[in-house]
Amino acid sequence: MTEAPPRILPVIDRDSEAYWTWGREGRLAIHRCEDCEYYVHPPVPFCPQCESRKVAPEAVSGRGRVVTFTVNHKAWVPRLPVPYVLALVGIDEQDDVRIPCNIVDCAPEDVTFGMAVEAVFEPSGDLWIPLFRPVQS
């Protein structure tokens, strides 16, 4: 099988750096308010619930559920292996925090709404890309 094209990487800044790099230690970083414990995503150093500025990245469990997904069949660029799944995963800690991802280690036809998944991380350049797979245990 030919190698898939490289993943396109995001521009990162001080707010998003933890999200894209903590995967090196196998951790999914989501910003959280130290005062009211609300998860703030995408990461912003301000809590929209209590107006606290004490909002910082915190490792979450990495578990969540598939909120929605699509099975892509079109090869948009050469060598793109299809089909593949693009999904939004809601994290277990707060289900309105949605994480775009590919679902891996699972046949596309087996992905379902509400499926329990867990984060895995793929190194790409200087970043660690969060992906999700069906819960193994």
Partner 1 sequence: MIRFAEKNTAITGVGMSDVSRGATGSALALTVDAAIEAIADAGLTRADIDGIATWPGERADGSGFSPVGCAALQDALRLEVNWYGGGGEAPGQYGAVFNAIGAIAAGLCRNVLIFRTMYEATARKTAYANALLREGQRQAGPFSWYAPYYTYAAALQQALFFNLYVHKSGITPEQVGQIAVNQRRNAALNPKAIYKTPISLDDYLASPIIATPLRLYDCDVPIDGAAAIIVSRMDVARDLRNPPIRIEAIGSSMRYRNSWTQLAELDTQAQPRVAEMMWGRTDLKPADVDIAQLYDGFSFHTINWLENFGFCERYGAKDFIEGGRRIALDGDLPVNTGGGALSGGRLHAYGAVHEACTQLWGRAGARQVKGDPQICATSTSGGPLAGAMLLVRD
Task: Point out which span in 24-32, 50-58, 124-132 binds partner 1 (CB under 8 A).
Answer: 124-132
Residue in the structure block whose two tokens are 């308010």: 33
Backbone angles phi, psi at 22, to 5 degrees: -65, -10
42 three-state secondary structure:
coil
Residue 1 touches partner 1, criterion: CB under 8 A: no
Q: Which of residues 56-95 bind partner 1 (CB under 8 A)?
A: 67-74, 76-77, 80, 84, 86-88
From the list 112, 69, 103, the residue with the least C-alpha distance to 88 is 69
Size of the site for partner 1 (CB under 8 A): 36
Residue 123 touches partner 1, criterion: CB under 8 A: no
Residue 124 touches partner 1, criterion: CB under 8 A: yes
Residue type, 44: V
From the list 120, 110, 70, 60, the residue with the least C-alpha distance to 90 is 60
Residues lying near partner 1 in the complex (CB under 8 A) are found at 5-11, 16, 41-42, 67-74, 76-77, 80, 84, 86-88, 96-102, 113, 124, 127, 129
